[in-house]
Amino acid sequence: MSAVELADGGGANYLGLMAAAPFLVAAFAPWRIVLGIGAIATGLAATFALSSDRITLAMAVNVVGIALSTAIAAAVAMIRQRQAERIAELSKLASVAQQAVLRPLGPQVGALAVAGHYISSTAAADIGGDLYEAIDTPYGARLIIGDVRGKGLDAVRLASIVLGSYRHVAYERADLRAIVADLDRAVARSVGDEDFVTAALVEERGGTLTIVNCGHPAPLLLRRGKVIPLEPPAPAPPLGFMPVVAPRVERLEPGDRLLLFTDGLGEARRDGEFFPTADRAWQLLGHGTVADGLASLETALVEWVQGQLDDDIALVLMEYSGPQAISTAAVPSWEVGAADV
């Protein structure tokens, strides 16, 4: 703008353009810098006005207008800065809340090496309704992964209710179906008619894997280079809709790995093409530690979607290391035959 004024010659005809400078700076800079830029713009405008052949009323009005514009721009910058600080504070609080709900997993739970990871769909706040937990109980190593309908603080609140209930009843109930019934009641007491939680519960005991599924994506079993979706024998609705689950029982081999995930992984796509989870699972997850496997999966996923995820993703990867001593706690009736295989 100064160059335009200089090129115009002796008549200061473009002083008003300098009012744009503080407003432009206010879009990204702190208010003190805005004041500095505005002061410089006002000073330059006054200099051009005084050096002109004749000082007019319009020139004086322009100089005063630049000064007023500077004050307004500084106020705008101050408001923007306070809002940015508030958003940063809320993001930090959201991250703390998320970490309080999702405790770190593993690295060892019973005979399982376990790692969990949460991938947020937004850099603004790592907060959502995806959940997971892995604990060692008298009935073996037990894991849950789930996905609350919706996002934000309400979703986190419901996720904390589910996890709090699970952390209690997983130690008390010998039957996974009883755990599902307890969690379903906890969800039904806490949500509206249209809210629900998809979930998959996994138990490893003496090399026997038992899975119950409440409307959740089927876990993937990785064994000797193959990827096997562990679909339930019969579909069941999510928690909150009184699911009646049918357990799926598998015999594990040392080195088997199991990937549990929320539907954000299945829905990740690029140009309408979904991420080929099953096709690439062994290549990404079959080597290194379970934590290394999840890191490789996240890298490949983010590269596939070019950093644009539509939904949060919770991931749990476990590896069976071999049989351990079986607890004297009661064994669910459906596992007796499988345990003798």
List the single range of 55-69, 133-147, 253-267 with lowest mean pLDDT.
Answer: 55-69
Q: What is the 3-state secondary structure (H, E, C) of 213-231?
A: EECCCCCEEEECCEEEECC
pLDDT of residue 13: 54
In this prediction, what percent of the chain has a pLDDT beyond 70? 84
Residues facing 222 on adjacent strands: 227, 257
List the single range of 86-90, 208-212, 246-250, 310-314 with lowest mean pLDDT.
Answer: 86-90
Query: Cα separation of 238 and 246, whole Å?
Result: 13
pLDDT of residue 5: 46
The verdict on domain 102-339 having CATH code 3.40.50.720 is no
Instruction: Tell me which residue of 149, 142, 157 sits closest to 200, measured CA to CA.
Output: 142
∠ CA(254), CA(259), CA(260), 5° rounding? 135
Using pLDDT thresholds of 50, 70 and 90, give the confidence band for residue 125: low
- Reply yes or no on whether the pLDDT at 330 is more than 50: no
| 233: DSSP letter | S
List the single range of 10-24, 74-88, 164-178, 305-319 with lowest mean pLDDT.
Answer: 10-24
Query: Cα separation of 130 and 104, whole Å?
Result: 14
pLDDT of residue 49: 74
List the single range of 173-182, 193-202, 203-212 with lowest mean pLDDT.
Answer: 193-202
Q: 3-state DSSP call for residue 181?
A: helix
- Convert the pLDDT of each residue in 89-99 to its tens digit: 776 776 666 66
- Reply yes or no on whether the pLDDT at 331 is more than 90: no
How confident is the prediction for the chain on average, in pLDDT?
A: 85
- Reply yes or no on whether the pLDDT at 153 is more than 80: no
Using pLDDT thresholds of 50, 70 and 90, give the confidence band for residue 339: very low
Using pLDDT thresholds of 50, 70 and 90, give the confidence band for residue 106: confident
- Reply yes or no on whether the pLDDT at 161 is more than 80: yes
- Reply yes or no on whether the pLDDT at 222 is more than 90: yes
pLDDT of residue 14: 54
How many CB atoms within 10 Å of residue 262?
29
Give pTM, 2 decimals: 0.72
In this prediction, what percent of the chain has a pLDDT beyond 90? 53
More confident: 80 or 214: 214
- Reply yes or no on whether the pLDDT at 340 is more than 50: no
- Convert the pLDDT of each residue in 296-326 to its tens digit: 999 999 999 988 887 889 999 999 998 765 5
Query: Cα separation of 219 and 222, whole Å?
Result: 10
Give span(s): CATH 3.60.40.10, the chain.
102-339
Using pLDDT thresholds of 50, 70 and 90, give the confidence band for residue 328: very low
- Reply yes or no on whether the pLDDT at 19 is more than 90: no
pLDDT of residue 332: 52
List the single range of 186-195, 256-265, 269-278 with lowest mean pLDDT.
Answer: 186-195
Using pLDDT thresholds of 50, 70 and 90, give the confidence band for residue 4: very low
